[in-house]
Structure 1
């Protein structure tokens, strides 16, 4: 866990969570993700398997690099148009081994929701998040809102970025940016957009870290 706090955590009034690999953890999730990205590239590009392996390593999609970039921002490196990727991932979305997954404690989330308005902000398609949450036993009704792109928004190119969604939350809650804490598993994708707005971030590797931070500092 790594904290990126621009103000005292006691000043935080709004909590924003990423979903994938933040509200759940699976020991083989990285292996599943790398296989998923490779399968996507082989399906959507003209690259050979050897070329794909080499370029994935160059871009950072490896087992060792836990901070790999989002595929949306780097698909062009593989000769894949973002629109083609968006169209593909609507029905071919990243899934994990749900049997060995560790999910966030809903009771902790309920306690937090008594003190903070809470949001889930993700780049995954809205309907796919609903499927994952149900399989993982994560109660999304605890959150004030799930902000995820619809299939239509993705295909039309109208899906908002995380930074834009963070700004919407700040304005909608009538708070200062330094009163918002974003919790996610990737610094560049989840946390940096909020830091650029003057907010706070927490990078975690599993739900237990969120639960411990909540008990020690937020509740």
Structure 2
């Protein structure tokens, strides 16, 4: 859809619901750490050598991809392969991943400024397949934790995207109807399709440049709304 058409549909938006990993930050080394740790978890859980665990993980990812036609999330592959609980995977990750090794706050000054401006006009929320401990570490490292009204992780929900009900849960917590929410994420199958199934509008962003452009469009919509409300 052309930007003009999208902006017309966004006139009644009240809330923006972001994915976290790969959307609000895109550090390739930190993003690669999740599948690396997933392989280590598989090796420990199934008592396999690391190379064998890597092959099992890749095979399960391929099986799920063929079954669904979409690339599965790291968490979905790991749970399907090991039968582990979400809290077990969360604890494993929290013990082994330190976002401060990867994320430089200076690189995300633009993000802090953009979200601060968006917060003047919209409620902001996150729905993430990450766990609460790591999500908090990442958000605080980026300097944006205080900007979000609702944060839903696997720790609270016990579920993972692409479950559409996660978006409904966040919309309800915000007190906003689903159609007045815009979901923003970097994965079509995991973020965008389930959000639309839940009745939200949704936009795919692949790069920081995409997010900057989207933010500019949303600010333009908000400023246009404000101008219309001013006495003539």
TM-score (norm 2): 0.72
Alpha carbons of structure 1 residues 68 and 48: separation in structure 2 relative to 1, 3 Å:
farther
Aligned to 2:35: 34
Q: Which has the higher contact order (CA 8 A, sep 6+)?
A: 1
Q: Which runs of 5+ in 1 are unaligned?
A: 62-66
C-alpha distance in 2 between matches for 1:146 and 1:208:
24
Change (3 A) 1:193 1:93: farther
1:115 matched to 2:121? The reply is yes
- 2:73 corresponds to which residue? 70
SS at match of 1:205: coil
**Which residue in the other structure is 1:64 paired with?**
none
| Structure 1 segment 85-96 matched on structure 2, within 5 A | 85-93=89-97, 95=99
Output one character per residue of 1:10-43: Cα deviation in whole Å (capped at 9) or x when no partner: 3322100111121112244454333222222222
8 Å Cα contact 2:37/2:93 also seen in 1: no
Looking at structure 2, the residues matched to 170 and 40 of structure 1 have their Cα atoms a distance apart, in angstroms, of 33
Determine which structure has more spread, i.e. the larger CA radius of gyration.
2
Could you say which residue in structure 2 is the equivalent of 1:191? 192
Please report the RMSD computed on the Cα atoms of aligned residues, expressed in angstroms: 3.1
1:141 alignment partner in structure 2: 146
Between the aligned partners of 1:117 and 1:70, the Cα distance in structure 2 is: 27
Alignment match, 1:176 = 177
Q: Which runs of 5+ in 2 are unaligned?
A: 63-69, 221-232
Q: Which has the higher helix share?
A: 2
Spell out structure 1 runs of 4+ moving beyond 6 A: none
Cα distance in structure 1, aligned partners of 2:57 and 2:107: 28
**Number of corresponding residues:** 203
Q: Secondary structure at the match of 2:184?
A: strand
